[in-house]
Amino acid sequence: MTKKETNKTSKMKELLAKEKKIVSLPQPGDIIEGTIIKVSKTEIVVEIDSIGAGVVYGGEIKENRTLVKGLKVGQKISALVIGPENEDGYIELSFKEANLKKIWNDLRETKENNETISVRVIEANRGGLVIEYSGIVGFLPVSQLSPQNYPRVEGGDKNKILKHLNIFVGKEMLVKIITLDKRDEKLIVSEKLAREKELKKNLEKYKEGDIVEGTVTALADFGAFIKFGDNLEGLAHISELAWEIIDHPSQIIKENDKVKAQITNISNSQISLSLKTLKDDPWQKIEDKYQSGRTVNGRTIKSSSAGVFVEIEKGIYGLLPAEASNNVKFDQTYKFKITSLSPEKHKMTLALTEL
């Protein structure tokens, strides 16, 4: 062989090596693209450019009919390589696994970009909602529900909480991803975070001291929830519902009542409301009627660690200190002496003058 022929042979070997490298077979775990050239009940064959052909076998077709439904010859499609070239010369492929891998990648990008996704609620339990996104099952804890959807259940009754959560089954929700782990197939989402931006934007229209009109959405031992404006909701604590001392909000208002309230505080998107600030304060000019040292009649109504509350008149209460309250009975009228009075702080201290 001449020197010229030897060089020519060497170059051809180099070209063949390069070509072989270019068309090297894909490995398990790779995502490939190809064109469907055959569709049947037992297999779907895909032509892979410059490589050969791949196949999806009937087992996967049978288990994932919705995924492969509508696939036609000539259609471009992505698939995941799950096995090397088999004895029939086909590379074994999976549409399902490719689809799942793509979905997990999409979820990762969504989380990294702090974007929202729409999920469907498929089940409820006492801890929250089981959700589904493109075949991936995840969880939305109760604590991550938006203020509008959070269950307001008196006493934290778990059966009542579950009853409330069941109303969301079958519905779509906008959420943000807070935990994502493909290896453990773990997806945890938050509706509260998804609505945070919207909530802050809507809150920009309001400030402390503003008076709003709204609807009572729920009552709890500690107060009333009131919805107003553009999907905003605030809490009127039981002490802010009336100047009188009450045992439960239902003594003042009921669910679905239309009310006016004043915004007393906005902190971290939490809105505090008051109904009593819009009513006449019975403690104003109280010194015209009551002074320290004066004797008054009062009815015992409620006890606390500090002592016994005594109603002097509607909206005006005094405190009989705990150490002096051992001999009094509830819902009884006694004579008391006013030992101190602070109208601006709405405080009156009493001493028992007779049993």
Query: Are residues 174 and 183 in contact, defined by beta-carbon separation less than 8 angstroms?
Result: no
| pLDDT value of position 307 | 93
Q: pLDDT class for 214, splitting at 50, 70, 90?
A: very high
Asked if the structure places residue 259 within a domain, the reply is yes
228 vs 160, which has greater pLDDT? 228
| pLDDT value of position 146 | 86
Asked if the structure places residue 18 within a domain, the reply is no
> How many other CB atoms are found less than 10 A from the CB of residue 173?
21
Closest-CA residue to 211 (of 257, 263, 259, 258): 263
| pLDDT value of position 276 | 94
Q: pLDDT class for 242, splitting at 50, 70, 90?
A: very high
Closest-CA residue to 234 (of 269, 190, 196, 258): 269
Closest-CA residue to 98 (of 26, 1, 184, 16): 26
Residues 6 or more apart whose CB falls under 8 angstroms from that of 186 comprise 138, 179, 180
Q: Which of 22-26, 52-56, 144-148 has the lowest mean pLDDT?
A: 22-26
Same domain, 262 and 306: no
**196-201 long-range contacts, CB within 8 A, separation 24+:** 196/269, 198/231, 199/147, 199/231, 199/232, 199/269, 200/269
| pLDDT value of position 22 | 47
Mean pLDDT over each residue of the chain, to the nearest integer: 86
Query: Are residues 138 and 104 in contact, defined by beta-carbon separation less than 8 angstroms?
Result: no
Please report, rounded to a whole number, the percentage of residues in the chain having pLDDT higher than 70. Answer: 90
Would the CA dihedral through 80, 83, 84, 90 be positive or negative? Answer: negative
Query: Are residues 278 and 260 in contact, defined by beta-carbon separation less than 8 angstroms?
Result: yes
Domain boundary among 224, 258, 278: 278
Asked if the structure places residue 107 within a domain, the reply is no
Same domain, 190 and 120: yes
Asked if the structure places residue 5 within a domain, the reply is no
CA angle (339, 298, 289) in 5-degree steps: 60
Asked if the structure places residue 24 within a domain, the reply is no
Is the pLDDT confidence value at 107 over 80?
yes
| pLDDT value of position 7 | 53
| pLDDT tens-digit readout, 269-309 | 789 999 999 999 999 888 889 999 999 999 999 888 899 99
* Distance between CA atoms of residues 156 and 159, nearest Å: 9
CA atoms within 13 A on the CB side of 20: 6
Query: Where in the chain does DSSP place strands (E)?
Result: 31-39, 43-48, 52-57, 76-85, 90-94, 116-125, 128-133, 136-141, 172-181, 186-190, 211-220, 223-228, 232-237, 258-267, 270-274, 295-304, 307-313, 316-321, 333-342, 347-354
User: pTM, whole model, 2 decimals?
Assistant: 0.59
Domain of residue 239 covers 204-278
Domain boundary among 142, 167, 194: 194
DSSP 144: G
Same domain, 299 and 270: no
Q: Which of 10-19, 31-40, 55-64, 215-224 has the lowest mean pLDDT?
A: 10-19
Structural domains counted in the chain: 4
Structure tokens at 33: 């693209």
Asked if the structure places residue 84 within a domain, the reply is yes
Domain boundary among 194, 219, 239: 194
Q: pLDDT class for 177, splitting at 50, 70, 90?
A: very high
Closest-CA residue to 44 (of 28, 67, 16, 26): 67
For residue 120, the domain's CATH number is 2.40.50.140
Phi, psi of 5 (to 5 degrees): -70, -40
Same domain, 78 and 125: no
Asked if the structure places residue 4 within a domain, the reply is no
Structure tokens at 137: 């099952």
* Distance between CA atoms of residues 284 and 287, nearest Å: 8
| pLDDT value of position 2 | 55
* Distance between CA atoms of residues 352 and 331, nearest Å: 15
| pLDDT value of position 237 | 95
